[in-house]
Structure 1
Amino acid sequence: MREDFRILIVCTANIVRSPMAEMIAKAMLRSSACPVLVTSAGTHAWVGHPMAPYALATLRNLGLDGSAHHARPLDSALVNDSDLILTMETGHRGSAVTMEPTAMHKTFTLREFAHLAEGRKVRHRSDTVGRAHAVVRAVARRRGAPARHHPVEIADPYGEPPEEYGRCARVIGGSLSRALGELLGPR
């Protein structure tokens, strides 16, 4: 097992949702004792493009800088190298799993993972890579269990007014807060 835990966040073009989620997750993880690496990619990436202007502005409003981001495509190497893959839509999840079927146990929509991870009792010290792996395994076992309906996708605000990017960032931030909180344990 590696000494770090790698999270890959996936959307379509890798210019709005997944890079916003990447930057928000990195900010949330700054004080974590667990070495977590977060990256992003797109199923139909606009390779080399920067983040969309409204996405950059949304991050700036949160005190984050996404100006160094350049879109990259989802590929088998990224899927294989990741310990957890969080997608914005079920179609993105399907693309990752189609690319590498063995990734099914570690690939979820972000909202799905946040919901399924809530309240997981995991027997590992908090803030360890081992705990993070144990949570992913526990969440994978819960997949398909009867549950009340909850949204699993995060809508793409591309082409919408700026306030939709803010709404998207709030959904991403709330879901990441829950997911990372469960993944890394009490802080």
Structure 2
Amino acid sequence: MREDFRILVVCTANIVRSPMAEAIAKAMLRFSSCPILVSSAGTHARAGHPMAPYALDTLRDLGLDGSEHLSRPLDGALVGDADLILTMETGQRGTVVTMDPTAIHRTFTLREFAHLSAGRKIRHRSDTVGRAHAVVRAVARRRGAPGRHPFEIADPYGGLPREYEECSRVIGDSLSRALGELLGPR
């Protein structure tokens, strides 16, 4: 087992939701002693595109900088290297699992993972890679049959600044719950 835990966040073009989630997660993990690495990709991304301007503005309003981000397409190597894959939509989750069927037990929509991980009683010491892996296994066992769930995060691309702000709020709330469960009680 590696000494770090890798989270891959996936959206469509990797210019709005997943890079915002990557930046927010990295900020939340800044002072964690658990070596969690976060990256992002898009199911239909074209390599090398910057974040959408309103997404950059939204991050800037949160005190975060996304100016160095360049989009990258999702590929099998990224999927295979991730310990946890968090998508914005169920269709993207399906794309990941189609790309690598073994990823089914570690691929969730972000909101689904936040919901299903709530209150997990894990017997690992807090703030360890082993605990993070145990939480992912527990959440995978808890997942029910696929269906219609309010677990998607709407894409604000082309919308108004307030839609980007709402998207970042949903992402931040979901990440706070998900990362809190991965890291354990403080």
Question: Fold-level match, TM-score > 0.5?
Answer: yes
Q: CA deviation at 1:101?
A: 0.1
* 1:126 and 2:134 are equivalent in the alignment: no
| Structure 1 residue 186: Cα displacement | 1.5
Output the TM-score relative to the length of structure 2: 0.97
SS in 1 for 2:6: strand
Partner of 1:180 in structure 2?
179
**5+ residue gaps, structure 2:** none
The letter for the 2-side match of 1:167 is E
Tell me by how many angstroms 1:46 deviates. Answer: 2.6
CA contact (8 A) 1:15 1:46 kept: no
1:55 Cα offset (Å): 0.1
Distance in 1, matches of 2:59 and 2:47, equals: 21
User: AA paired with 2:153?
Assistant: I
Per-residue CA deviations over 1:68-105 (Å, capped at 9, x if unaligned) read 00000000000000000000000100000000000000
TM-score scaled to structure 1, two decimals? 0.97
Corresponding residue of 2:12: 12
Q: Distance in 2 between matches of 1:15 and 1:8?
A: 15
What is the SS of the residue equivalent to 2:85?
A: strand
Q: Residues 91 and 28 from structure 1, CA distance in 2 versus in 1: closer, same or farther, beyond 3 angstroms?
A: same
Contact 1:7 1:86 in 2 (8 A): yes
Output the CA distance in 1 between the equivalents of 2:47 and 2:152.
Answer: 23
Q: Which amino acid aligns with 1:183?
A: L
Distance in 2, matches of 1:123 and 1:32, equals: 19
State the identity as a percent.
82
Unaligned runs of 5+ in 1: none
Distance 1:137 1:76 in 2: 21
